[in-house]
Amino acid sequence: MSALIISEAFNSLNINTKYIDARELIVTDENYGNANVDFDASYDQINEKLHGISDNVIINGFIATSRLRNQTTLGRGGSDYTAAILANALNASILEIWTDVSGVMTADPNLVSSAYPLKQLSYEEAMELSHFGAKVIYPQLFSQFYKRVLPVLIKNTFKPNEEGTLISKETKKSSNPVKGLSHINQAALLTLTGSGMVGATGTLSRLFSTLYANKINIMFVTLASSEHTVTVGIDSKDITLALDALNVEFASEMKLGKINDILIEDELSIVALVGDNMKESVGLSGKTFHSLGTNGINVRAIAQGSTERNISIVIKRSDVKKALMYCTKPSFLSEVK
């Protein structure tokens, strides 16, 4: 409704504007609430509907239509996702996202008063930050642009003169290895352990498949080299569902004593340190451990991908603010250069 009102308001000011409902453009499957987009069908619809239109076009976001003509929605960040789909389909030169903050921040400004907007991010840095809870950007956004050079500019609607954050393929090298920090608050660790896991083919596959089948998102994974233990991070709200499903899946192994009772640790948060330059910074993981430890913060688990662009640490939820504040101090960043 708001898009239609804006369109009519522009027309009343003699700004020629046409309103088009996104349900006529975006085609999805039947997964209402978090629908998967049929990009080929959507691109065809977009180019057909918008071809030859010379007026300004106002399009709503978030909603779509399934192949069976049922209304669907695109989930969290669906309006930005709609804009990204349109930009890609129309071969736009840039996508601008106007929001209520002045770009992607170095950390959550509600927890870190010294946080500031980043001028530039690479696609990879932005994806890492969005996965771990950065509220300004959403992971789906980058499914449209990862292989195509299309800059994304995040700007503040209420402070249009501020620079914002430019996300692109190529960025200037930062002097600091850690570009920004993000976190997920409602996290829990689920640990599967047992002597019967060593050398047993398919245990990990069954674990991941069972969680996937129950629509439980895996946010974090660590695996002991002995294959004796695997730990995954999930949303706290999914604990009961995950336990019930895995107890059924591994019931026979548990009965034989090959797999122990599943361990759950709740009231946790996952904090991610993100930066393209981290791979060139020797001893960053050790420095992070030492710095947090000397400030009374116990690290429950840690994971780092082979790209070395992200170090994820699991800590008590009550320690998040302290961890973010310390890891964004200039003294910490300068010590790990």
Kindly report, residue by residue over 100-130, the tens digit of the pLDDT.
Answer: 989 999 999 889 988 899 999 988 888 888 8
Identify which has the larger pLDDT, 225 or 10: 10
Q: What is the pLDDT of residue 326?
A: 85
Q: What gap in Å lies between CA 81 and CA 45, rounded to an integer?
A: 16
Residue 135 pLDDT more than 70? yes
Which residue has 């980043």 as its token pair?
Answer: 118
Residue 276 C-alpha from the chain's centroid: 17
Question: In the predicted model, is pLDDT for residue 267 greater than 50?
Answer: yes
Spatial contact of 87 and 161, defined as CB atoms under 8 Å apart: no
Mean pLDDT of the chain: 89
pLDDT at residue 223, rounded to an integer: 84
Confidence of residue 327 (pLDDT cuts 50, 70, 90): confident
Q: Which two tokens stand for residue 151?
A: 């800059």
174-337 has which fold?
A: VC0802-like (3.30.2130)
> Is the predicted pLDDT of residue 256 greater than 50, yes or no?
yes
Helix (H, G, I), strand (E, B) or coil at 176: coil
Per-domain boundaries in the chain = 2-168, 174-337
Residue 190 has, within 13 A of its CA and on its CB side, a CA count of 26
Rg of the chain in Å (alpha carbons): 23
Query: What are 46-70's pLDDT values in tens digits?
Result: 999 999 899 999 999 999 999 999 9
Order of strands across the sheet that contains 263-274: 220-223, 229-235, 180-193, 263-274, 310-316, 301-304
The per-residue pLDDT for 147 is: 61
Residue 286, C-beta contacts closer than 8 angstroms, at least 6 positions apart: none
pLDDT class of 22 with cuts at 50, 70, 90: very high
Mean pLDDT over 272-280 rounds to 83
**To the nearest 10°, the Cα dihedral for 23, 27, 29, 35?**
-60
% of the chain residues with pLDDT over 90: 63
Look-up: residue for tokens 């791979």? 279
pLDDT digits (tens, 9 = 90+) for 141-188: 777 665 667 899 999 999 999 999 999 887 776 667 888 899 999 999
Cα 118 to the chain's mean position, in Å? 17
Contact (CB, 8 A) for 17 and 7: yes
pLDDT tens digits, residue range 190-236?
Answer: 999 998 887 777 888 999 999 999 999 999 999 876 668 999 999 99
CA distances, 53 to each of 16, 46, 48, 92, 217 (Å) = 11, 12, 10, 16, 41
Q: Measured in whole angstroms, how far is the alpha carbon of residue 323 from the centre of its chain? A: 20
- Cα dihedral 104, 110, 114, 115 in deg (nearest 10): -10
Between 2.60.210.10, 3.40.50.300, 3.40.50.1820, 3.40.1160.10, what CATH number should domain 2-168 receive? 3.40.1160.10
Whether the predicted pLDDT of 320 surpasses 60: yes
Q: Is 257 left (phi over 0), alpha (psi -120 to 50) or beta?
A: left
- Of 74, 10, 6, 11, which Cα lies nearest the Cα of 39? 74
Tell me, yes or no, if the two domains 2-168 and 174-337 fold the same way.
Answer: no
Q: Looking at the DSSP assignment, which residues form a beta bridge with residue 303? A: 312
User: How far apart are alpha carbons 203 and 226 in whole angstroms?
Assistant: 13
Tokens 């999914």 -> residue: 238
Phi, psi at 301, each rounded to 5°: -160, 160
pLDDT number for residue 146: 59
